[in-house]
Structure 1
């Protein structure tokens, strides 16, 4: 293992994380595939076996919201392998709702997983990545660039991650660590299902926002019908791990690039507001 690059990926029980773990192993990395509940690792193990890379995929427990779990996992990786070459921050949780109806608790919970969890894993990994000249690749979202209706908490967390990583990147580069973000758009995975959304109950509880929420849900379900696969979304992650000079920011599809480009060219915000306003009309 001394000459094999060791990559830790969070949130690998399904979706992009699972696909990225298998793809990184196929690219020759030794992957420490982490998840909060290792009892959910069967799908990952089966996919790794089918790809012929089971020996390069090591399942480990890591709860990004628990600093003790983060420390324990990183310590174990260093004890077993003596090095850490890259971290892929992928673990995350979505939330659909609006703050007037739902209050602050869901906002805090969403920030805890999607922002503070990423910060904590990155903090713990940086000393080891300095030693190896490694990389931090964080899976954010087009929702980390473009704010989207009824995703206030999720987009706030992803915006925060983008700002954190963009600020950290030159600092980390000064000590030999590359920092970058990967921005998927709609991906056909278990991400929506994992939110446990009861759509009828959600609409019933939406009060005066119910018509806008219904329009948003209808539009979003249609968009996910045209989504890319987790395997397609994982390809840029592996490229970011292996490219000699990877960019700071990369999108996972042409649709994602066009969507993000709309925001980056929209100096006064009017184009984005017109676009996202049509989703709830």
Structure 2
């Protein structure tokens, strides 16, 4: 059998870079995409060091022309696509009173509409190959978290979209999965560009709550899962004969998401997340 042709978004660093390396090591022909090819050096060097080959291409998930060009290049070079891994995303920390609606819309563009747009473009190819879609969500796609309204809203939307798409896609032979990492030690948090002291100073009435949240999240990320371990759980779903509709990347992520799914009235989640904003 020929190796599966797998398109992965957001591979310049962190989980995406590791997914690309591990998918290639698992025998996939990896098309590793990123918005800015100037950041390709880390993946290129890691692939060389690990003795694997990845095909690095430009793809901005918020740019329809970029998506169309990338998918067209896959068709031209390979004639098919067997798997899509939606990994590209961007973090965001704010509360609605202190940000603009344009800020919220941008979070949705990158984290939700980008996923939808790439999935839409890939579906005809995946339908033809009997392929699969694996989307990297977050525990924030199941549990709403303080100062993450827009980010969690986007991830909730991703999960609702994929959960709804899954049974429909299955009727034409395409399997759909979401994978939920918890705290991961990667470039994702630094890439948000946070200055904690500045944020707290500018938060007005929300300053004490924000300081509590940043302290709580800092503690969480001090015990974070490695990018490689998170990617291994995602690649396990990618290569599974019968992939689950939803999976988590660690025991702590499973426990956290499990709190939500067992919490019919919302009291357990609220009791938990209120402690993150306590002064």
TM-score (norm 2): 0.99
Following TM superposition, the consecutive aligned residue runs of length 4 or more in structure 1 with deviations greater than 2 angstroms are none
Give deviations 1:162-215, integer Å, cap 9, x for gaps. 000000000000000000000000000010110111222211110000000000
> What aligned pairs does 1:264-275 form with structure 2 within 5 A after superposition?
264-275=261-272
Q: Which residue of 2 aligns with 1:196?
A: 193
Q: Give the drift of 1:124.
A: 0.2
Give deviations 1:13-68, integer Å, cap 9, x for gaps. 000000000000000001000000011011001111111103xx000000000011
Q: Which residue of 2 aligns with 1:84?
A: 81
Matched, 1:211 2:182: no
SS at match of 2:184: coil
Corresponding residue pairs, total: 278
Q: Which residue of 1 aligns with 2:165?
A: 168
Q: Work out which of the residue numbers 89, 93, 101 in structure 1 matches 2:90.
A: 93
Q: Which residue of 1 aligns with 2:229?
A: 232
SS at match of 1:59: strand
Q: Which residue of 2 aligns with 1:49?
A: 48
TM-score (norm 1): 0.98
Give deviations 1:217-238, integer Å, cap 9, x for gaps. 0110111000000000001211
Q: Which residue of 2 aligns with 1:24?
A: 23
Matched, 1:121 2:118: yes
Structure 2, unmatched stretches of 5+, are none
Q: Which residue of 2 aligns with 1:14?
A: 13
Distance 1:242 1:163 in 2: 23
Structure 1, unmatched stretches of 5+, are none
Give deviations 1:99-128, integer Å, cap 9, x for gaps. 101121111000000000000000000000
Distance 2:79 2:3 in 1: 11
Q: Which residue of 2 aligns with 1:103?
A: 100
Q: Which residue of 1 aligns with 2:184?
A: 187
Distance 1:259 1:241 in 2: 23
SS at match of 1:138: strand
Matched, 1:35 2:34: yes
SS at match of 1:169: helix
Give deviations 1:127-154, integer Å, cap 9, x for gaps. 0000100000000000000000000000
